[in-house]
Amino acid sequence: MGTMSLTELDDETVRSMAMAAIFSDFGGKINSLDFHRKDDLLVTASDDDSVRLYDIASAKLIKTTYHKKHGADRVCFTHHPSSAICSTKYNLDSTGESLRYLSMYDNRILRYFKGHKERVVSLCMSPINDSFMSGSIDHSVRIWDLRVNACQGILRLRGRPTVAYDQQGLVFAVAMEGGAIKLFDSRSYDKGPFDTFLVGGDTAEVCDIKFSNDGKSMLLTTTNNNIYVLDAYAGEKRCGFSLEPSPNTTIEATFTPDGQYVVSGSGDGTLHAWNINTRNEVACWNGNIGVVSSLKWAPRRAMFVAASSVLSFWIPNPSSNSTDDPSATMDTQAAAVKSEQVPQL
């Protein structure tokens, strides 16, 4: 596919982003996706109970595993390039196995994590050690260690909790009912939050939090499709953007690695990009299929991935001067790829 390494982004480069590969063989909505921090790998979890591993440098599917017993909802990489944590959709009442530690290399479940009584809606791995966090609609956040079955800590909250570590792994954020964002020291979270921010005027629940790579900004996405960029130190709102509503589907927004741009889906199926410093929209793209519910920018590449029931890879296309229909100016387009058949877990 010829993805380029990340250099300094500017408005023109962001505006030139175009679809370069499409994978349309999913049997349902893609629920979540994650990039590996160091390797050129992407993992997806979808409603067809599959967890899929992709090489993003060549836009190739590497591996597919199916999880019919538990389903595949939230997913994130561990530090190992072929291991991931995946949350459960089915049989949670009977098994209690809310999270699984997967080895995609040999299609094994390395460990089950029991504790959550209802579905996990937020999942993230510490960037510095084997800790990870999960937030559930059972109104709890749990802190885990990959090496141990037992939960290491619990935070009881109101509403639907959303969790994120900062890029240094020293701080984590938890969003809860009423637009409150609480910041914890990850080494002494049992002492309670050291700061609390309020997103004034918006009482919708936060469904996604991300920290910028430099730790200076936080990106919040709400269930009514508003996006806010906050100063991560003072909690002040730097800018905010409103997208078209998407009933029954949450959208996702992402920072670029330099923290200068935000890209997001919208309820009308379009994608948007804004320059945070100027607060101007620099691009609006059509041509994706359905509402983009999962979207992330690759850590070290000029590339983002957007997913609905279709997975699309986007890279700069210097010949593209129009943002109306990027699919018409693709350099390369991967045909729909048939997944390899593997034993079911």
Least confidently predicted of 68-77, 143-152, 178-187, 294-303: 178-187
pLDDT digits (tens, 9 = 90+) for 85-117: 999 999 998 889 999 999 999 999 999 999 999
How would you list the strands of the sheet with 294-297, edge to edge?
Answer: 17-23, 311-316, 304-307, 294-297
pLDDT digits (tens, 9 = 90+) for 110-146: 999 999 999 999 999 999 999 999 999 999 999 999 9
Q: 210 has which bridge partners?
A: 219
Q: pLDDT value at position 326?
A: 37
| Rounded CA separation 243/225 (Å) | 5
pLDDT at 288 over 80: no
Q: How confident is the model at residue 202 (pLDDT cuts 50, 70, 90)?
A: confident
Q: pLDDT value at position 3?
A: 60
pLDDT digits (tens, 9 = 90+) for 38-91: 999 999 999 999 999 999 999 999 999 999 999 999 999 999 999 999 999 999
| Rounded CA separation 58/2 (Å) | 7
Instruction: Report the amino acid identity of residue 229.
Output: V
Question: Given the structure tokens 């890879």, which residue do they identify?
Answer: 313
pLDDT at 260 over 60: yes
Q: How many CB atoms lie within 10 A of CB 120?
A: 24
Q: pLDDT value at position 320?
A: 62
| Rounded CA separation 9/343 (Å) | 43
Instruction: Report the amino acid identity of residue 59.
Output: A
